[in-house]
Structure 1
Amino acid sequence: MKRFLKINDIEICVDDTQQGENALLLVHGLTADKSSMYPIRDMFKDDYRVITIDTRGHGESTRPEKYTIDDHALDIHEIIKELDLKKVDLLGYSMGSYIALRTAEVQCDDIDHLILLCTKPNGKTSSVARLLKEANLDITQITQEEMMGVILKASLAPHSLEKVANGELDVGELLGSDESPELSEEEKAAEDASLANFDNSKDYDKVTCKTLVIGAEYDGINPPELGREVADGIKDAEFELIKDAGHLVIVEQPDEFKKIVENFLKN
């Protein structure tokens, strides 16, 4: 069920399956919205109450002119409170993993399991902005299609790129279509600015929940060694490497991804 929560002077759009004893909250990546997390939702909706959200600045949620990762973190804690959840399992993907980690660093007593998929400890800007700069492209000037082209080259394993080129793999169809209008140039700039010089590595000691970091062998956006660095910094955190996959690991190796996450959540 989709609903809007009024928190922190904005509205956050939430999609809640409402079924299941344990809650799994999913946080999407750069320029995306909650629909990009539906493949993960569908993997776990039979066993968990799965909650997907449009973070501030994205999807159907309020799109402020300025915001930070800390704003996202406070939003998530308020979402947990508004939905009357004692604890959640929190999974963040790419940019969503930076947000999820910061959420745990701000406060951990309402988080049971923390899963960071394709993550990194810090950055001067977003990983996608870095890739676009290397390709001499401006994040505020390109279309979603152009951006996806750059992302695909950096985020798929070699065999998957071949399948895309041959028409055997439709990544867009597998990920699901966006429910909301694309971000405007100003909104993309605000999103990029929210990641400028972020650094989650200074507060690893504040993460006391059970933590799993998942990296992908061919991830050119957030290489797996960066994820391992995060795992090494958090006490007792686990690290798993999924082979033959890139940044779009949930498309390339969905069964392996699901198995790793299920094992972690059940232990």
Structure 2
Amino acid sequence: MMVTFKSDGSVTIAYEVTGQGEPLILIHGINGNLEMFYHNVEELSKYYQVITYDLRGHGKSDRPLNYTMNDHIDDCFRLIIHLNIKRANILGFSLGAYIGLGFAINYPEYLHKLILVGGKGHGEVSSYARLMTKHRHEIKGLPKNEVLEKLKPYIYHNKDIVEEWLQNVSHYATMTPDEEAIASRSMANFDFRNSMEFIDKEVLLIVGEHDGLNPPFESEAIEQKVKRSHMLEFNKSGHAPLAEEYERFNDTVVRFLS
């Protein structure tokens, strides 16, 4: 059942709690919402109290005209305080992975274990903008919806399951082009590289072998900096192993956390 809370006294954040046990917070990616985890919540909630929420600017949460990466990180912290959680496991996907990494740096005493899916440790622009620049000659002159279709093979591997997954996300909530631009700006110019070496938590890095958005080398760079980290490559996935190989993904998460 969906409920809400006021994160900083003004921004309403929508969230859901499923199952019982040790808390596991799932943080979704940009232009998405908590439905990004619909392949995962049912299975993971057999073992954990699974908390999913819509980031500010996304889903059924409030959509301010401006926010930053630090706002996202603080929202996660305030959700933990709101739910009276002493320590949580955090799993972040894409933008959610950046938030999870920032959380580990800013609020380590509230973190147990961390899982980063398709993440990176820094970025001057969004990964999608970077991908568009890389393939600019292929997408030149195309309307926005055709650009995404053209780039999908560089982002994902299992086309059929990704189409169903993205439809499910869009049926739950969509964003306007202006809202997407605001969300994209929130990711610009973040850099955790000089702080990652101080993270003293168990960290699992999951990345799809065919991920052209945040390729495996981005996770390798985190693994080299974070001393208690381990990287696992999913060879039948692109950017979304949580959907593209969800059975293996769910099993991997449970094994790591237990």
Structure 1 Cα separation of the partners of residues 148 and 43 of structure 2: 24
**Partner of 1:90 in structure 2?**
90
**Partner of 1:249 in structure 2?**
241
How far off its partner does 1:217 sit?
0.9
How far off its partner does 1:150 sit?
4.3
Closer, same or farther: CA 150–262 of 1 in aligned 2, 3 Å:
farther
How far off its partner does 1:120 sit?
1.1
TM-score (norm 2): 0.90
Structure 2 Cα separation of the partners of residues 222 and 102 of structure 1: 17
**Partner of 2:163 in structure 1?**
172
How far off its partner does 1:155 sit?
2.2
C-alpha deviations, 1:222-256, integer Å up to 9, x for none? 11111011111112111111212211212322222
- Is 2:250 the partner of 1:258? yes
**Partner of 1:217 in structure 2?**
209
Matched residue count? 252
- Is 2:237 the partner of 1:236? no
How far off its partner does 1:79 sit?
0.1
Structure 2 Cα separation of the partners of residues 16 and 151 of structure 1: 34
- What secondary structure does 2:59 align onto? coil
Tell me which amino acid in the other structure corresponds to 2:144: I
**Partner of 2:128 in structure 1?**
128
**Does the Cα contact within 8 Å between 1:128 and 1:151 map onto a contact in 2?**
no
**Partner of 1:55 in structure 2?**
55
Q: Sequence identity of aligned pairs in percent? A: 29
How far off its partner does 1:151 sit?
4.8
Tell me which amino acid in the other structure corresponds to 1:54: D
Structure 2 Cα separation of the partners of residues 109 and 94 of structure 1: 23
Q: What residue ranges of structure 1 are gaps of 5+ in the alignment? A: none
How far off its partner does 1:183 sit?
1.5
How far off its partner does 1:170 sit?
4.3
How far off its partner does 1:65 sit?
1.1
Structure 1 Cα separation of the partners of residues 154 and 42 of structure 2: 26
- What secondary structure does 2:108 align onto? coil
For 1:138-157, list aligned pairs within 5 A: 142-143=144-145, 146=146, 148-157=148-157
Tell me which amino acid in the other structure corresponds to 1:216: G
**Partner of 1:72 in structure 2?**
72
- What secondary structure does 1:201 align onto? coil
How far off its partner does 1:135 sit?
4.3
**Partner of 2:12 in structure 1?**
11
TM-score (norm 1): 0.87
- What secondary structure does 2:62 align onto? coil
Structure 2 Cα separation of the partners of residues 131 and 77 of structure 1: 31
Q: More deviation in 244-253 or 176-185?
A: 176-185
Structure 2 Cα separation of the partners of residues 80 and 179 of structure 1: 28
Structure 2 Cα separation of the partners of residues 174 and 58 of structure 1: 17
How far off its partner does 1:216 sit?
1.5
Q: More deviation in 76-85 or 200-209?
A: 200-209
How far off its partner does 1:171 sit?
2.3
Runs of 4+ deviating beyond 6 Å? none
- What secondary structure does 1:61 align onto? coil
- What secondary structure does 1:258 align onto? helix
C-alpha deviations, 1:118-148, integer Å up to 9, x for none? 111111111112223444469xx834xx465
How far off its partner does 1:102 sit?
0.6
Q: What residue ranges of structure 2 are gaps of 5+ in the alignment? A: none
**Partner of 1:205 in structure 2?**
197
Tell me which amino acid in the other structure corresponds to 2:15: V
> RMSD between aligned alpha carbons?
1.9
**Does the Cα contact within 8 Å between 2:155 and 2:238 map onto a contact in 1?**
yes
Q: More deviation in 128-137 or 207-216?
A: 128-137
**Partner of 1:115 in structure 2?**
115
